Amino acid sequence: MNRQVAGVRGVAALLPAECAPWAAVEERLRALMEVYGFREIRLPIIERTELYARAVGEATDIVEKEMYTFLDRNGDSLSLRPEGTAGCVRAGIEGGLFHNQTQRLWYQGAMFRHERPQKGRYRQFHQWGVEAYGMSGAAIEAELIALGARILRELGVNARLLVNSLGTPACRERYRDALVDHLKAHRDRLDEDSVRRLDRNPLRVLDSKNPAMREILDAAPAIADHWSTESRAHFADLTGHLRALGVAFEVAPRLVRGLDYYTHTVFEWVADETLAQATIAAGGRYDGLVTELGGAATAAVGFAIGMERLMGLVTRPPQVLGLGVYVMTPAALQGRALALAEALRDRGVRVEVHLAAASAKSQGKRARESGARCLVEAVDEEGVVILAAGATQGDTVSWTDAVARISEILGAEAKIDDE
Ligand code: HAM
């Protein structure tokens, strides 16, 4: 045998057993996007590296050390997308989506970050993102958050919603200075990572998971003390809307997020468990990004769900069309079996026909394991035996009567679309 080629670390295929629940959740998410009036946008997987440097920020972990960046044959520096927001804004500017318009957009797909892989953290992972443009008030934030909360609630995912405000860039600047003063006063007790961040991106020091840093960070100033009147009013509006909608939240004064483009509201859903990678979905307002990337000033807010993390926490999967019929057949009757399957599919029934060479016994085993609600065995040119799942006695019927009889059995428990 030849040597196998290993997959890339942190980059996994979704095998058929996983695809089915993913597809069911994706289908439900698509439906919810429609219900909320969001339209799909399909974004490229590669962009110019400069896009992320300018949007996500030079001094962020993503741009500093996590991007898959390469020179293409023209010598242009390109990167695999580490997230979707920057590309969405870039495509929106080029496509003329923002000028004097509001937009509600969604996208989904693979993102790439060269992080240390572990459970819930991959180098290729999938996001489901929603972005809204042209709306500057807190109401759209509340609507997005209500959408996120609905998704998690429907799927039975237990998570806390954390909200904070980073204020305007001016508030953030003042806060940055106060934070740096505080951290410098304890410089000798900062860990190596924090010292590095202190110069490059001091707000990120607040994200340290090192317990030794806890005391210093708990004593750090809060951004709320540096909010302008406008920032304070905006945040009060948001919390007011959330209360009115009955969306539970916690104010997290030290939530800052790892991307530079945020202003005002930021939020995250964190799984209740003490998972290492507990953040399921996250986002916030990013009013400055469209101008930063060369467009006209446009209010913007959005969030993205980490699909792998979401899928790991679903306790109420959406109902999917289960296997209705499994057809067992000897090779000589495969043609008839296929015709029967097509006739059933015309009626919306999910059918699988056993087409691999196998003994009747092993076909029977496979059929029982399939979970189909009705098993059909092709006997001869005359007809089939139909057995409802769980029944011991089968019915012998002609090929012509088979569709009607099967529909009858399935109709007793499932809705078959007869139209
Ligand atoms: P983010 O917090 O970097 O935000 O990522 C959003 C979500 O993607 C995370 O909460 C997490 O569930 C998932 N995620 C991130 N990295 C990984 C990884 N290595 N493996 C598995 N899952 C991961 C953004 O990307 C922003 N673009 C969100 C946003 C949209 N803000 C405004 N609009």
For residue range 202-217, list pLDDT tens digits in order: 998 998 888 888 889 9
Residues of the chain where predicted confidence (pLDDT) is lower than 70: 273, 275-276, 412-419
Q: Which of 127, 164, 313 to mutate to test the pocket of ligand 1 (most atoms within 8 A of CB)?
A: 127
Contact (Cβ atoms closer than 8 angstroms) between residue 379 and residue 363: no
Atom 13 of ligand 1: nearest residue by CA position: 306
Going through 250-382 in order, the beta strands assigned E by DSSP cover: 250-251, 265-271, 279-285, 300-306, 325-328, 351-353, 374-378
Decide whether any atom of ligand 1 lies within 6 Å of the 308 Cβ. yes
Residue 281 CA to ligand 1 centre (angstroms): 7
Q: Residue whose CA is closest, atom 20 of ligand 1?
A: 121
Enumerate residues 6+ apart whose C-beta is below 8 A from 62.
52, 56, 82, 83, 113, 258, 259
Q: Burial level of 95, CB count in 10 A (0-12/13-18/19+)?
A: exposed
Closest-lying ligand 1 atom to the alpha carbon of residue 83? 25
What is the residue whose two structure tokens read 């045998």?
1
Nearest ligand 1 atom to alpha carbon 259 = 3
pTM over 0.75: yes
- Count how many Cα atoms sit within 13 Å of the Cα of residue 344 in the half-sphere of its side chain: 30
Residue type for position 231? S
The best mutation among 279, 305, 308, 311 to test binding of ligand 1, ranked by most ligand atoms within 8 Å of the C-beta, falls on: 279
Cβ 280 under 6 angstroms from ligand 1: yes
CB 131 less than 6 A from any atom of ligand 1:
yes
Backbone angles phi, psi at 393, to 5 degrees: -105, 125
CA 110 to chain centre: 10
Cα 355 to Cα 370: distance, rounded to the nearest angstrom: 14
> End-to-end CA distance of the chain, in Å?
53
Nearest residue (by CA) to ligand 1, atom 7, is 306
* Residue 24 pLDDT: 94
The C-alpha atoms of residue 406 and residue 344 are separated, in whole angstroms, by 8
- If residue 92 lies in a helix (H) or strand (E), which one and from where to where? helix 85-94
Q: What is the pLDDT of residue 417?
A: 43
Binding site membership of 114 for ligand 1 (Cβ less than 6 Å): no
- Between the CA of 282 and the centroid of ligand 1 the distance, in Å, is 6
